[in-house]
Structure 1
Amino acid sequence: MAPDQSPQKHIIDEATLHVTSIFQKTGEHAVTDHTADADEEVLGALGYKQEFKRSVDRGFVRPSTTDRASDFTWIESFAVSFSVLGLLPSVASTLGYNLGYSGQAGSVWGWIVAAVMIQSVVFGMAELCSSMPTAGGLYYASAVLAPDGWGPFASWCVGWSNFLGFSTGPCSVNYALAAMILAAAEISNPDYVPQTWHLYLVFLFLLVIQGLLAMNATKILGYINIVGTIANLAVLVIFLIWLPAGSINRPRSRFNDNHTVWVDIQNGTEWPTGWAFIMGFLTVIWTMSGYDTPFHLSEECSNANIAGPRAIIMTGQLGMYLGFAIILVIAYTVRDVTDVVAGAYGQPMASLCVQVLGKNPGLAMFALNIVAQFFVGQGCTIASSRVVFAYSRDGAIPGSRWWSKVNARTRTPVNSVWFVLAIGALLGLLMFASPVAIGAVFSIGAIAQYIAFTTPLALKLFFAGDKFKPGPWNLGRWSSPVGAVAVAWLLVIVPALCFPAVKGKDLNDLTMNYTCLIYGGTMLFALLYYALSARKWFKGPRVNVEHLIYTDAVESAGSVSDNVDRVPEKV
């Protein structure tokens, strides 16, 4: 008889890899038929096969993987994240909220308060990423950290909230970009009167272009986003220099006085000034919401449990400081807040640039902002598709078998790319209802993302106990205090983002804040779907790597280390 030619089995012991794994709840171990490299081993310990392209330039290599293209390095992962953050374009998209609700002083102090509080979420997320570097990210973390029996429900809610936040991203970013393009056309040709259908067609065109780019291989996407990051940083630097210089050189322009910028909070709402100040946080919250992208790209990134947290922290910190510089420049140079918030062009940044720099220089500065905004939409499309892929892999979204497919040529989730863009196209129809209705996608994205960001931190803080295994990057004794601040921050911002600017007789169907209706309606659908169907079959993250639990299988399989715990036989 010929000798057994079956490959040697290797057990991946998650207990030795500093990961918080779903296997901790089942007592199982992942098994491979080859010697995995460090990144594949960590991913296997979390229960997933390596499906995306990832570099193989260190450790042991499967012969069949030698043709794989390069993965994201930590700097490329940061580049995608910073592109999604898109500081100047993101501030431009939501400038009407902080200036309109609380004026220059409210914008400055609002950024300081909100950005500092957001760092608690940034650092807490980085710690989770180091422990669970998988594309499912927060959804996976919620399943593992929830109390026994509640894992599937927790991951379902977080997954749907994160899915909703990301799926509204391409819509909100490209709606703002389309509005910017038409505003630029209106500045250059005063006789042009943009129509809503013009706006929607430009919006659709942008979605298609970004889809064609986002369906490429990981290596190409890395290059695109490095270009996007360089473009965003270059435009930001030009803005920070040009606007103050232009303000000094234009007659009767000059800078605003310190009292206006730092003391005089102008209430642009019908609510008390303190609450109007908090409502103005929307600009900061929506702008500072792309730093989770490295988490979702971790399956395409080398050394993910270190590179991912590093990219998250770098994005959050740079976002805080550079964003404050943008807000400070705007506060000192804006002359007429009302004209900026409700100006003739329908786009606050367009009005600001023309007001401070004049028509032609202002148009040039605004055009640079449009270029930067395009790369924000591109990064957002990439990140959104990875979230959809991760949740579809576990059957959490209707049509999951389509959205979880990885293209055989590019080794990227092409179907997921077009799915999120189709959602964006449908949401864009809200622009035909009213500006307030389409504007709700900004608040929806902010609420959905921060609920998804903070829920696993709350589960870790109150329920996880010793189930959480810190990764190589961790907060140590500061982990619990940071998590507590993040949870408190969420409790403040959720109600604030749902308030309309007016009340009483001024509140009507055109001035109402529809965030509660759209976000609440979608999450109600998700909860009903879970109660009526998903609770019977959805078990949280679906392990797709070979795994075992039986003692005899363990004894015969071998191990990647000498200290693999023997698992008791399942009865």
Structure 2
Amino acid sequence: MGYNAELKRNLSMFTILGLSFSIIAAPFGLSTAFSIALTCGGPITILYGWLVVSIISLCMAASLAELCSMYPSSGGVYVWAAFVATKKWAPLTSWIVGWVSLVANWTLCLSINFGGSQLIMAAISQFRGNEWAPAAWQTILTFWACMVIAAIVNAYGVKYNYLDRLNTLSFYWTAAGTIIIGVTILARAKDGRKDADFVFAGWENTSGWPDGWAFFVGLLQAAYTLTGYGTVAALCEEVAEPEKQVPKAIVWSVVAASITGFVYLIPVLFVLTPDAADLLSAAAGQPIPVLFSLATGSPGGGFGLLFIILGVFAFAGIGSLTVALRCTWAFARDGAIPGSKYWAKVNKSLDLPLNALILSTVVVSLLGLIYLGNTAAFSAFTGVATICLSISYGIPICVAMFRRRVMLKEAPWTLGKFGYVINMVTFLWIILATVLFCMPTVAQPDATTMNYASVVFAFFFVLSAGWWFAWGSRHFAGPLGAAPEEAVKNISPNNHHVHAQDAKPTVDVSSHGSEEK
């Protein structure tokens, strides 16, 4: 791909699978975003929304796996975007995708760690009989503590092999924990169980949106949960045979997470008491701790089950920062971030881009301050993460599709004759999702319930556009191998590149359909 190897290839396919599975974190994501689907339709949105998004996510994961197998690089989607585009448009395409992907990784890490801090606050409230509600500053401090812990684990994770062990443990913890939760709440069910009609056909729309639109808005719960699988491409340069192992991990993590989600959701819906309105008024805006306590008959029993979810969160919070810092480092080594020379450095004693870790941690921590002015900030965090991930995934997939997928014919992981159909499903979903997830979850929002996802997205869009016109349009040539040789000489901040003529050859498809190696 044109880069010198700076990171050790000491991770296995199962480690990457565990990392992807832990970032998706189905029980945790479904729990923290539970109120969204509960407001917009209840059981039907929760259950069938998960089914719809699972199928779409599998199509998207398969499309990303194909691209990853052809162009394995820690840059991930922004590198793929450059390689599938024409030479003329490669720099601008990779710049757009790179910045969207960077924001996606930062806000995904933000939403996971912030959602976890809200769950911790909700657990404390449960122990106090729901008579205590956390102040915004208390939630922020808890969030910052979670970020510091994740940063410390990541800082020493490679050198002492923590990440490998944590990602493997995460897989087993999540799978076993999901089964334990399901069996426990169904067996105890202190307030009784709902009937099958409620679980599989119940509809409770309290959002104020028309029923059909409410269902689509409620898909944010499932769409937010089933994201992040493509971000593990950021570890391509730490895996042997990444063109084979990483695509497998991407696809199988979505399959495993989809099954885990159903195993988790169905028991929860069977014990979904009391009414939705009472659950939605729970402290810290998290209804799942209340539901667990009611199902088990005691705050202690509820916390025992919640502890399993908090364990899933711990793995997800660490894993999301793992990929965010590597995405930051990969983009910086091509000179696309202000101060790239500093952020692209690799700390040799830790075998890690330590400066990129610090930058990612600080940016994510500062974004959490939005919560001080808007108590519905979590919806904005989840919305912008989902939107940005979808767009960053979608652009290289769509460019390849509209250019007749010629550059993917020799991909080790190929979609074959189904490629166009699978890519088209992905393309249509991304258009819909971008509109949907900018919508507030209620029809008549006020300043505190408005969805500010579009505002956060616009802020980073203006920032990246300004940096493009100020510097990128003259100096940024895109990732190596996809960039013209004469431009490559000027884009390395730390001489991290192999000469362009030694890079992997690319296929360029001209407008009249001929191919040129």
Give the drift of 1:192.
Answer: 4.3
Residue matched to 2:2? 47
Question: In the alignment, is the contact (CA less than 8 A) between 1:80 and 1:293 conserved in 2?
Answer: no
Residue matched to 1:100? 39
Give the drift of 1:417.
Answer: 1.4
Secondary structure of the structure 1 residue equivalent to 2:67: helix
Q: 1:236 aligns with which of 178, 183, 186?
A: 178
Question: In the alignment, is the contact (CA less than 8 A) between 1:106 and 1:266 conserved in 2?
Answer: no
Residue by residue over 1:7-32, the C-alpha shift from the partner in whole angstroms, topping out at 9 and shown as x without a partner, is: xxxxxxxxxxxxxxxxxxxxxxxxxx
Residue by residue over 1:47-78, the C-alpha shift from the partner in whole angstroms, topping out at 9 and shown as x without a partner, is: 11111012xxxxxxxxxxxxxxxx10000111
Q: 1:547 aligns with which of 461, 483, 499?
A: 499
- Describe the shift of the 1:345–1:547 C-alpha distance in structure 2 as closer, same or farther (beyond 3 A): closer
Question: In the alignment, is the contact (CA less than 8 A) between 2:20 and 2:232 conserved in 1?
Answer: yes
Residue by residue over 1:342-361, the C-alpha shift from the partner in whole angstroms, topping out at 9 and shown as x without a partner, is: 22453121122112222221
- Describe the shift of the 1:79–1:188 C-alpha distance in structure 2 as closer, same or farther (beyond 3 A): same
Q: 2:263 aligns with which of 298, 302, 325?
A: 325
Secondary structure of the structure 2 residue equivalent to 1:254: coil
**Separation (CA, whole Å) in 1 of partners of 2:396 and 2:244:** 20
Alignment of 1:46-65 (within 5 A): 46-54=1-9
Question: In the alignment, is the contact (CA less than 8 A) between 1:147 and 1:464 conserved in 2?
Answer: no
Secondary structure of the structure 1 residue equivalent to 2:156: coil
When structure 1 is superposed on structure 2, of 182-191 and 448-457 the one drifting more is: 182-191
Q: Which runs of 5+ in 1 are unaligned?
A: 1-45, 55-70, 555-559, 561-571
Question: In the alignment, is the contact (CA less than 8 A) between 1:76 and 1:222 conserved in 2?
Answer: yes
Residue by residue over 1:319-361, the C-alpha shift from the partner in whole angstroms, topping out at 9 and shown as x without a partner, is: 1121122222222221122222222453121122112222221
**Separation (CA, whole Å) in 2 of partners of 1:262 and 1:302:** 44
Residue matched to 1:538? 476
Question: In the alignment, is the contact (CA less than 8 A) between 1:52 and 1:411 conserved in 2?
Answer: yes
Say whether residues 1:468 and 2:468 are aligned partners: no
**Separation (CA, whole Å) in 2 of partners of 1:175 and 1:478:** 39
TM-score (norm 1): 0.82
Say whether residues 1:146 and 2:101 are aligned partners: no
When structure 1 is superposed on structure 2, of 348-357 and 487-496 the one drifting more is: 348-357
Secondary structure of the structure 2 residue equivalent to 1:350: helix
**Separation (CA, whole Å) in 2 of partners of 1:241 and 1:416:** 42
Say whether residues 1:396 and 2:351 are aligned partners: no
**Separation (CA, whole Å) in 1 of partners of 2:445 and 2:22:** 37
Q: Which runs of 5+ in 2 are unaligned?
A: 481-487, 489-495, 505-517
Say whether residues 1:246 and 2:188 are aligned partners: yes
Residue matched to 1:65? none
Alignment of 1:77-226 (within 5 A): 77-190=16-129, 192-218=132-158, 219-226=161-168
Question: In the alignment, is the contact (CA less than 8 A) between 1:145 and 1:464 conserved in 2?
Answer: no
**Separation (CA, whole Å) in 2 of partners of 1:492 and 1:280:** 13
Letter of the 2:79 partner, please give it. Answer: Y
Give the drift of 1:217.
Answer: 4.7
**Separation (CA, whole Å) in 1 of partners of 2:50 and 2:137:** 35
**Separation (CA, whole Å) in 2 of partners of 1:492 and 1:222:** 37
- Describe the shift of the 1:398–1:242 C-alpha distance in structure 2 as closer, same or farther (beyond 3 A): same
When structure 1 is superposed on structure 2, of 73-82 and 265-274 the one drifting more is: 265-274
Give the drift of 1:262.
Answer: 2.1
The CA RMSD over aligned residues, in Å, is 1.9
Residue by residue over 1:442-463, the C-alpha shift from the partner in whole angstroms, topping out at 9 and shown as x without a partner, is: 1110000011011110010002
Question: In the alignment, is the contact (CA less than 8 A) between 2:13 and 2:246 conserved in 1?
Answer: yes
Question: In the alignment, is the contact (CA less than 8 A) between 1:97 and 1:283 conserved in 2?
Answer: yes
Residue matched to 2:491? none
Alignment of 1:152-551 (within 5 A): 152-190=91-129, 192-218=132-158, 219-247=161-189, 250=190, 253-335=191-273, 336-358=275-297, 359-463=299-403, 465-503=405-443, 506-542=444-480, 544-547=496-499, 549=501
Give the drift of 1:224.
Answer: 2.1
**Separation (CA, whole Å) in 1 of partners of 2:141 and 2:377:** 18
Residue matched to 1:27? none
Question: In the alignment, is the contact (CA less than 8 A) between 1:187 and 1:345 conserved in 2?
Answer: no
Letter of the 1:300 partner, please give it. Answer: E
Letter of the 2:498 partner, please give it. Answer: E
Question: In the alignment, is the contact (CA less than 8 A) between 1:345 and 1:351 conserved in 2?
Answer: no
Question: In the alignment, is the contact (CA less than 8 A) between 2:53 and 2:226 conserved in 1?
Answer: no
Give the drift of 1:173.
Answer: 1.4
Question: In the alignment, is the contact (CA less than 8 A) between 1:175 and 1:428 conserved in 2?
Answer: yes
- Describe the shift of the 1:470–1:348 C-alpha distance in structure 2 as closer, same or farther (beyond 3 A): farther
Secondary structure of the structure 2 residue equivalent to 1:329: helix
**Separation (CA, whole Å) in 2 of partners of 1:465 and 1:77:** 27
Give the drift of 1:436.
Answer: 1.5
**Separation (CA, whole Å) in 1 of partners of 2:284 and 2:208:** 25
Give the drift of 1:316.
Answer: 0.8
Residue by residue over 1:56-106, the C-alpha shift from the partner in whole angstroms, topping out at 9 and shown as x without a partner, is: xxxxxxxxxxxxxxx100001111111111111111111111112111122
Give the drift of 1:233.
Answer: 2.1
Letter of the 1:47 partner, please give it. Answer: G
Question: In the alignment, is the contact (CA less than 8 A) between 1:334 and 1:355 conserved in 2?
Answer: no
**Separation (CA, whole Å) in 2 of partners of 1:193 and 1:488:** 41
Letter of the 1:319 partner, please give it. Answer: A
**Separation (CA, whole Å) in 1 of partners of 2:119 and 2:284:** 9
Give the drift of 1:469.
Answer: 4.7
Secondary structure of the structure 1 residue equivalent to 2:229: coil
**Separation (CA, whole Å) in 2 of partners of 1:432 and 1:514:** 14
Secondary structure of the structure 2 residue equivalent to 1:52: coil
**Separation (CA, whole Å) in 2 of partners of 1:209 and 1:546:** 36
Q: How many residues align structurally?
A: 485
**Separation (CA, whole Å) in 2 of partners of 1:303 and 1:464:** 27
When structure 1 is superposed on structure 2, of 368-377 and 538-547 the one drifting more is: 538-547
Give the drift of 1:278.
Answer: 0.6
- Describe the shift of the 1:146–1:347 C-alpha distance in structure 2 as closer, same or farther (beyond 3 A): same
**Separation (CA, whole Å) in 2 of partners of 1:275 and 1:406:** 48
Letter of the 1:475 partner, please give it. Answer: L
**Separation (CA, whole Å) in 1 of partners of 2:498 and 2:271:** 61
- Describe the shift of the 1:470–1:320 C-alpha distance in structure 2 as closer, same or farther (beyond 3 A): farther
Give the drift of 1:112.
Answer: 1.0
Give the drift of 1:151.
Answer: 0.9
